[in-house]
Structures are given as C-alpha cells and as structure tokens.
Amino acid sequence: QQQVKQSPQSLIVQKGGISIINCAYENTAFDYFPWYQQFPGKGPALLIAIRPDVSEKKEGRFTISFNKSAKQFSLHIMDSQPGDSATYFCAASRVSGGYQKVTFGIGTKLQVIP
C-alpha cells in the first residue's frame, strides 16, 4: 500500500524556472513531512521539512506548501539551477509503537537544463 504518492516521476525545467513536485498522503497520523534531495551514489539529504500545523515554510529557494484538509503537500524550487538536478523524495513520518516510522514517496528525478 503506497501511503505517500508522489508526482511527477520525472521533471525537466529550464534554468531559472520553477520546479514543482507534489505529494499526497493517506494517514492523518503523520506529523512530520520532510523533503530529501539525493544525488547519484549518495544518501538522501534533508532539504526542508514541515509540521502539519503550518501551511507554508520557506528556506532560501525552497518552499513547502502544505494543505492539511486535502492531505497534500508540495515542494517548489524557485530559480532552478543545473546544480539542483537530482532526485527528490517527499516523506511522511509518525511515531508508531514507540519508533519513528518514515514512509517515502517514489521520487522525482529533476533535470534542470541551461
């Protein structure tokens, strides 16, 4: 059962454009929503994260928009750069049975072209 649905699976954006990746979740018990960036051959690195009591969080060129009623959240990358080319994963996390359970989306491969 895919508890976190992510789209699109691939995205091509021109340099300077806005990259938008969307995620939807099912379980309302999730209480932490991180986005990870992963380069080939590397582990995922936390980019930005949000709690469900906040509708938007911005860090530099990266913004998370969160819609609790729709159970959806999205990552916006402003002024996209070739160095942003990577795979991005959304995730949803909750404490379950005494441990932090994290469920990842399938990933979005972003390519920023000059």
Q: Does 40 help bind other proteins (rule: CB under 8 A)? A: no
Structure tokens at 33: 């929503």
Nearer to other proteins, 55 or 96 (CB): 96
103 scored as a contact of other proteins (CB under 8 A): yes
Query: Cα angle at 46 between 45 and 51, to 5 degrees?
Result: 160
Stretch that binds other proteins, among 26-34, 52-60, 66-74, 77-85 (CB under 8 A): 26-34
Task: Give me the long-range contacts of 66-71 (CB less than 8 A, separation at least 24).
Answer: 66/33, 70/24, 71/24, 71/25, 71/26, 71/28
According to CB under 8 A, which one of 14, 55, 67, 96 is a site residue for other proteins? 96
User: Which amino acid appears at position 50 of this protein?
Assistant: I
32 binds other proteins (CB under 8 A): yes
By CB under 8 A, residue 68 contacts other proteins: no
Its sign, for the CA torsion 41, 89, 49, 98, is negative
76 vs 101 by CB, closer to other proteins = 101
In the complex, least distance from residue 100 CB atom to other proteins, rounded to whole angstroms: 6
Supply the DSSP string of 77-103, one letter for each residue.
ESS--GGG-EEEEEEEEEEETTEEEEE
Site for other proteins, rule CB under 8 A: 6, 31-32, 34, 36, 41-46, 49, 89, 91, 93, 96-107
